[in-house]
């Protein structure tokens, strides 16, 4: 397949590197970046979960191939942008490529109404990455999972979903396809947004984790956010992660802290968290406002809202 990836951020570069073995991958960049980034080679240090444990730690180089115009056909355009950037990005893209197929690779809270006003329904599917990381200088430091979440909202998106599933499978990445992609994205969103507000108080994940009181408020706010999802029609029994709110906090905190301090995959997956604070705070405000509209009792969300 011929794939266009929007930008050269962490997620876009991780998947470009993974998909480029079987596909032609091009990055779409701003005109003022083209000369600097096109044909640029960067080093990477990636835990590749597609490999066995002995060979997971991979190092190598990736060379960007870039364009600043969409003047030919692409089989798929992957859009890994912050949620608050999505609509403006899609509007700009459709001026040049109104009928191409898109994989919207970001979180969601507002549903698809605004997306449907920009894209033809049959021309997009939704998804979320199974990897993460950061740039240390020019070094891409991260992990890429052996899975990825993909989903369709409408029946006429199934053909695109099937072809995209095959593309990922051919590259050793097995898509998880939930029965309701929007509900999956909402649950994942509320699982990170409250922690993002907590993180904004420190700008360091390690320091944030040490603040046991703040972490407790974040987890309680997460439980309140799951209730918001439930009010929106989400069946919480479909999502195992919601069960952690039933675990006593002193146990949950130890598990949480141990995972971040000792799990190298988790450390890489969350390495971008400080850079994603603005997105998580923006997502939090949307979730909080929905909770108010629905009349959900959320004292801990109120506490976090005062920190923004």
- For the segment 164-170, the average pLDDT, to the nearest whole number, is 98
26 and 151 housed in the same domain: yes
Query: How many domains, in total, are found in the chain?
Result: 2
Percent of the chain with pLDDT strictly greater than 90: 90
What digits encode the pLDDT tens for the residues 100-130? 999 999 999 999 999 999 999 999 999 999 9
Question: Do residues 201 and 214 make contact, with C-beta atoms less than 8 angstroms apart?
Answer: yes
28 and 74 housed in the same domain: yes
Question: Do residues 300 and 288 make contact, with C-beta atoms less than 8 angstroms apart?
Answer: no
132 and 192 housed in the same domain: no
Give the DSSP letter string of 237-272. GG-GGGGGGGS-HHHHHHHHHHHHHH-HHHHHHTTT
What digits encode the pLDDT tens for the residues 31-54? 999 999 999 999 999 999 999 989
- For the segment 121-140, the average pLDDT, to the nearest whole number, is 96
Confidence band for 77, pLDDT divided at 50, 70 and 90: very high
Strands 174-176 and 147-151: parallel
Residue 215: the pLDDT is 95
Residue 36: the pLDDT is 95
24 and 167 housed in the same domain: yes
The H-assigned helical ranges of 50-123 are 86-96, 113-116
166 and 196 housed in the same domain: no
Evaluate if residue 225 carries a pLDDT over 90: yes
- For the segment 118-143, the average pLDDT, to the nearest whole number, is 96
286 and 170 housed in the same domain: no
Q: What CATH number has the domain bearing residue 255?
A: 1.10.1040
23 and 149 housed in the same domain: yes
Estimate to the nearest angstrom the gap between the alpha carbon of 8 and the chain centroid. Answer: 15
Estimate to the nearest angstrom the gap between the alpha carbon of 14 and the chain centroid. Answer: 12
Quote the domain boundaries for residue 298. Answer: 185-305
Q: State the burial class of residue 287 (Cβ atoms within 10 Å of its Cβ: 0-12, 13-18, 19+).
A: buried
Average pLDDT, the chain: 95
Residue 189: the pLDDT is 96
140 and 14 housed in the same domain: yes
Alpha-carbon distance values, 298 to 174, 192, 249, 252, 289 (Å) = 37, 16, 18, 20, 11
Residue 270: the pLDDT is 84
Whole-prediction pTM? 0.95
Residue 52: the pLDDT is 93
What digits encode the pLDDT tens for the residues 247-306? 999 999 999 999 888 999 888 888 877 778 899 999 999 999 999 999 999 999 999 999
Question: Do residues 74 and 171 make contact, with C-beta atoms less than 8 angstroms apart?
Answer: no
Q: What gap in Å lies between CA 120 and CA 98, rounded to an integer?
A: 8
Q: Which of 225, 252, 260, 220 is closest to 239 using CA atoms?
A: 225
Residue 104: the pLDDT is 98
Evaluate if residue 176 carries a pLDDT over 90: yes
Q: What gap in Å lies between CA 44 and CA 270, rounded to an integer?
A: 17
Residue 203: the pLDDT is 76
202 and 120 housed in the same domain: no
Point out the least confidently predicted range of 40-49, 108-117, 180-189, 200-209: 200-209
Q: What CATH number has the domain bearing residue 24?
A: 3.40.50.720
């Amino acid at each position: 397949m011929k794939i266009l990836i929007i930008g050269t951020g962490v997620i876009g570069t991780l998947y470009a590197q993974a998909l480029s073995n079987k596909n032609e991958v091009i990055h779409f960049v701003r005109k003022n970046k083209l000369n600097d980034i096109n044909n640029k080679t960067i080093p990477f240090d990636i835990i590749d979960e597609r490999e066995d444990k002995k060979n997971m730690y991979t190092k190598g180089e990736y060379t960007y191939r870039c364009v600043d115009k969409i003047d030919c056909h692409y089989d798929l355009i992957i859009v890994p942008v912050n949620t608050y950037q999505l609509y403006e990005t899609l509007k700009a893209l459709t001026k040049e490529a109104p009928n191409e197929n898109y994989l919207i690779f970001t979180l969601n809270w507002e549903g698809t109404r605004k997306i449907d006003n920009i894209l033809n329904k049959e021309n997009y599917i939704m998804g979320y990455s199974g990897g993460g990381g950061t740039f240390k200088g020019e070094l891409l430091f991260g992990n890429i999972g052996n899975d990825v979440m993909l989903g369709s909202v409408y029946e006429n998106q199934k053909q695109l979903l099937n072809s995209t599933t095959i593309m990922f499978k051919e590259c050793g990445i097995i898509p998880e396809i939930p029965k309701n992609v929007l509900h999956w994205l909402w649950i994942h969103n509320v699982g990170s947004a409250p922690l993002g507000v907590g993180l904004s108080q420190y700008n360091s994940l390690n320091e944030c984790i040490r603040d046991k009181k703040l972490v407790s408020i974040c987890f309680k706010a997460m439980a309140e956010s799951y209730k918001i999802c439930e009010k929106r029609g989400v069946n919480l029994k479909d999502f195992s992660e919601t069960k952690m709110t039933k675990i006593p906090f002193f146990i949950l905190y130890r598990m949480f802290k141990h995972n971040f301090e000792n799990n190298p995959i988790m450390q890489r997956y969350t390495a971008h968290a400080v850079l994603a604070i603005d997105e998580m705070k923006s997502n939090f405000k949307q979730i909080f406002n929905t909770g108010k509209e629905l009349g959900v009792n959320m004292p801990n969300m109120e506490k976090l809202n005062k920190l923004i």
